[in-house]
Amino acid sequence: MDTGAYSGFNVEIENDGITVVTFDQPERMNTLTRGLKRDFIEMLQQAQMDRRVCVLIFTGSGKAFAAGDDIGGTGYGAERLTPSKVPALNYGEETAQLRTYDSLRTTSQMVARTIRHLDKLTISAINGFAIQSGLSIALASDFRIAAKGAKLGSATLRFGYLPDEGGHWLLVQHMGVARAMDFLMRKRIVTAEEAFELGLVGEVVDPDKLMTRARELAVELANGPQVAMRLLKRALYSAADMTLEQACDDIATKTAIGDHHPDAHEGKQAFKEKRPPRFNQPESEH
């Protein structure tokens, strides 16, 4: 996958299969333009297909993780520091009602949907403000670690807008309908500690320990049996929308793949030999 500068964020592939994605326009609180979103989707699709990538960490520079959409009128990203890697889309006339529908379906909503579509595991290291679409990126991730002092919320109603990027669905998944109703209708922006109590983040750490902790978790996940973990991730998200019978059939199909992968043979052999397993090795080494 391409590394380095994208429109509004940077990508670096580190050792152990870890990729760090950093939103890097702190002077704009890392707000999201259409160009950034299109680049972000492209980057995720490349990560999906890159065998070097096991785990992705999303984080931000400055005071924000990502403080929502750019509503200052820059549209596709006139202020972006780096040209987008993908061409701009023509959404039609500004006044056309279908323009909003098309823009949401093809760009804004595809950010969270593409994160969820990834088989690779994702971690959001929330360093500061995670608002609206920034919050949705975090909630779409598989793991969330927040720094003390971070603030999380939707607050779209403060501008008369809806959480149209899929944030309402993500909040219901994490909090249930009643708590999501309270959170959105009251335009709440909560501290990292409150977010932990609400189940929106899994850990809260000191700011200077945020990336260290995120990398520790990423290394732990990257050292696991990647094929089985990718299958399990898909099974878990699918199970949320399935009956028990459907979920059992789904994981049986995936198990028919995973049980015959070299990692499964290595795990069994390591157990017999009373040693740590060595997963993700080239097949010739098994």
CATH number for the domain harbouring residue 248? 1.10.12.10
pLDDT at 14 over 70: yes
For 83, the domain range is 4-222
Nearest to 132 by CA among 32, 10, 36: 32
Based on the fold, state whether residues 260 and 206 are members of the same structural domain. no
Q: Which of 202, 222, 242 is the C-terminal boundary of a domain?
A: 222
Region 95-124 average pLDDT: 88
Predicted local distance difference test score (pLDDT) of residue 92: 63
Based on the fold, state whether residues 215 and 231 are members of the same structural domain. no
Predicted local distance difference test score (pLDDT) of residue 105: 80
Based on the fold, state whether residues 242 and 158 are members of the same structural domain. no
Instruction: Find the CATH number of the domain harbouring 66.
Output: 3.90.226.10
Based on the fold, state whether residues 137 and 267 are members of the same structural domain. no
284 confidence band (pLDDT: 50, 70, 90): very low
22-51 pLDDT, tens per residue?
999 999 999 999 899 999 999 999 999 999
Domain count, the chain: 2
Tokens coding 121: 């595991």
Based on the fold, state whether residues 95 and 146 are members of the same structural domain. yes
91 confidence band (pLDDT: 50, 70, 90): low
Based on the fold, state whether residues 159 and 78 are members of the same structural domain. yes
Based on the fold, state whether residues 245 and 127 are members of the same structural domain. no
Q: Burial of 284 by CB count in 10 Å (0-12 exposed, 13-18 middle, 19+ buried)?
A: exposed
283 confidence band (pLDDT: 50, 70, 90): low
pLDDT at 77 over 60: no
76 confidence band (pLDDT: 50, 70, 90): very low
Based on the fold, state whether residues 149 and 130 are members of the same structural domain. yes
Based on the fold, state whether residues 279 and 216 are members of the same structural domain. no
Based on the fold, state whether residues 149 and 260 are members of the same structural domain. no
Based on the fold, state whether residues 90 and 153 are members of the same structural domain. yes
Predicted local distance difference test score (pLDDT) of residue 101: 80
Say which range, 72-76, 134-138, 161-165, has the weakest mean pLDDT: 72-76
Based on the fold, state whether residues 171 and 267 are members of the same structural domain. no
Q: Which of 222, 250, 268 is the C-terminal boundary of a domain?
A: 222
Q: Which of 222, 237, 263 is the C-terminal boundary of a domain?
A: 222
